[in-house]
A and B are shown apart, each in its own frame.
Chain A
Amino acid sequence: MVERARRLGAGRRAILAAPYLWLVAFFLVPLALVFKISLSRSAIAQPPYVPTFDFGEGLSAILDKARTFGLDAYRGLFADPLYFEAYLTSLALAGLATAIAVAIAYPIALAIARSDKRLRPVLIGLAVAPFWTSFLIRVYAWIMILKDEGLFNRALMALGIIDAPLPILATNAAVTIGMVYSYLPFVVLPIYAALEAQDESLREAAADLGAAPLATFLTVTLPLSATGVVAGALLMFIPAVGEFVIPDLLGGSDTMMIGRVMWNDFFENRDWPAASAGAIVLIALLVGPIVWIERRRT
């Protein structure tokens, strides 16, 4: 019996270890590599930075090289106002888009959660249906909608609301629209899950105690779905801050989001240490507040 229990314990540990191994191999190790590159110096070489390590050189050579690590790339970030502006724009646009997405997603999630039980899987399926087509194609489609002679402007002009096309494409507005559209299902799902799990008798109790439907929503339904709202907002905000494709396709040349700046550093300037330092700072900016929020929630 004891032997059997010990074997089960080992099996359990192996199962628990699997996700950790995954995180170490595909998250921590790459992150460590990025961090290492951020401490390196840019160089005209292949790869385009020094030092690079060769494990055949022996430990002392590697240690010598490691002494050349420095914070030049980080100094560059703080010296150039472009980065500061790019971080600010990214946080602002992602924040605005997340707020709009929550405002749109909440009624959708509420409607699905309150619909007939048999209908709910269908409606949830419809909410995530856009995922069945390529993300890139869907963002391209927005170009067709938002450009000067696109669907949106033609419709407004046909209705006589405007005389000349509104310049939307290649502005921050287009980027915001694109992000709201792309991430909406990620916001709907956690809010729906929180609403669906709510006990109906709580709403009945509120009504029984004299709360009109709106008061019931504000005092019971909304506060009890707050965890879903926070989860959905984080799920969208985090990737949206570092978003590259949407600002690249829908934004203008002046839309400087940090993802695009890093892409430029990486592929145009071939300054890998600068791009890596940008990524490390972005992670620090996001992880800090999120850990703080999660701590406060529990």
Chain B
Amino acid sequence: MNDPVLRFDRVSKQFGATRAVDDVSLEVRAGEFFALLGPSGCGKTTLMRMAAGFETPDTGAVFIDGADMRATPPHRRPVNMMFQSYALFPHLTVADNIAFGLKRMGVDRATIVTRVAEMVRIAQLQGMERRKPAQLSGGQRQRVALARALARGPKLLLLDEPLGALDRKLREETQFELMQIQKKLNVAFLVVTHDQDEALAMADRIAIMRAGRIEQLGAPGEIYARPRTKFVAGFVGETNFFEGRVIARDAHAIRIETPDGVIEIAHEGFSGDHAIVSVRPERIAPGGAGRNSVAGEVQDVIFRGDHSLARVRLSSGALLRVAADAGALAQGARATFAFGANDGVIVDG
């Protein structure tokens, strides 16, 4: 049970002058929901296509269920992929699209019919079986693509931006559907996405990629609360950075001289003499209470329903993002904002 369904072992891939994937090692465990998250061009899609067999690594190896896949062409690999464009066969009906992979397995007709009916039910496509892809809505197409990819019963499903083509409201509903189906069928999902909300919401584990490398790998809560680098902190969620020279330290905290004053941050074995600190907007409170405080003028306030996000111009000219109760902050007001030594995280540059 602990064997990974997919393992990348030090894979690299070069496209012309760019290193699309740079010495990546990674494991996807059986039954887990794994997200590859990163900006476009970070190599996440190339990495996924290596698992499907559409790209071959220049160096390194890909293992599926423990078997080396280097010499295995895509049509013999025990994984299936849901394409970003869905890639539904336009000349086939919904039922024939779903049956396509089953027919290639050489299973008998009765089994195919039963299996297609099961997939139609899971993807809630009842009544659509005879339609062609062109007669479906975007959401229905997405579900056909999912049903088709799951029909062969793979242990691992690769999903390339599965929600990318859906509008916002549908995207949220579909997130829950995807998670339910994934848990119910106990299939490992490897999802490629550039949307951090999507990754945080759905994944058991996330790998953040940047310029062909994995910058951080962990559970969503861990990545959000303890980003290891400035890139990860900025990419996953909103944040504020304070940066400066370390002017004092003891075993538990350091004091940093920033353009907006000296701040004190807890640390565990940080030894550098220059530090970058990430502080999430919801960790900063208007008012004076807290170890660190900065002052500035509220530049604008964005209403977000349950809370508001204010942008505050600090004396150094930097913008501070602060989450607050709706209506608590007024545009143009001068205020002090405070956060504790444990509200910030020291990150690498």
Contacts and interface: CB of A to CB of B under 8 A. Distances in A.
13 contacts: A199-B87, A201-B83, A204-B81, A205-B87, A205-B88, A205-B89, A207-B74, A208-B75, A208-B79, A209-B80, A209-B149, A209-B152, A210-B104
B212 to A, nearest CB: 22
B91 A199 contact: no
Contacts of A202: 87, 89
A219 interface: yes
B74 A208 contact: yes
Nearest to B105: A210
B244 interface: no
A220 B52 contact: no
Contacts of B88: 205
Given A201-B85, A215-B104, A224 B91 contact: yes
Interface string B280-305: 00000000000000000000000000
Interface in A180-194: none
A63 interface: no
Given A201-B85, A220-B89, A207 B152 contact: no
B234 interface: no
| Complex A-B, nearest 7 residue pairs according to Cβ-Cβ distance, in ascending order | A209-B101, A210-B104, A205-B87, A201-B87, A207-B74, A207-B75, A208-B81
Given A201-B83, A215-B104, A219-B100, A207 B89 contact: no
A273 B101 CA distance: 61
A49 to B, nearest CB: 52
A212 interface: yes
Contacts of B74: 204, 207-208
B22 to A, nearest CB: 24
Contacts of A212: 75
B148 interface: yes
A220 B103 CA distance: 14
A204 B54 contact: yes
A206 B81 CA distance: 10
A42 to B, nearest CB: 53
Contacts of B83: 201, 204-205
Interface residues on B, range: 20 to 34
B73 interface: yes
A209 B73 contact: no
A108 interface: no
A15 B109 CA distance: 55
Nearest to B83: A201
Given A204-B74, A215-B104, A210 B152 contact: yes
Interface of A: 199, 201-202, 204-213, 215-216, 219-220, 223-224
B52 A208 contact: yes
A204 B100 CA distance: 13
Contacts of B259: none
Contact of B101 (A210, A220, A223): A210
Contacts of B80: 208-209
B90 interface: yes
A196 to B, nearest CB: 16
Contacts of B85: 199, 201
Interface in B48-66: 52-54
Nearest to B145: A205
Contacts of B90: 224
A114 to B, nearest CB: 16
A201 B148 CA distance: 14
Contacts of B81: 204-205, 208
Interface string B171-206: 000000000000000000000000000000000000
A240 B10 CA distance: 61
B87 A210 contact: no
B90 to A, nearest CB: 7
Nearest to A212: B75
A74 B105 CA distance: 60
Nearest to A219: B100
Given A204-B83, A205-B83, A206-B100, A211 B75 contact: yes
Contacts of B79: 208
A223 B96 CA distance: 14
A208 B90 CA distance: 17
A246 B63 CA distance: 62
B238 to A, nearest CB: 34
A262 B83 CA distance: 58
A224 B89 CA distance: 9
B42 to A, nearest CB: 21
A68 B152 CA distance: 75
Contacts of A199: 85, 87
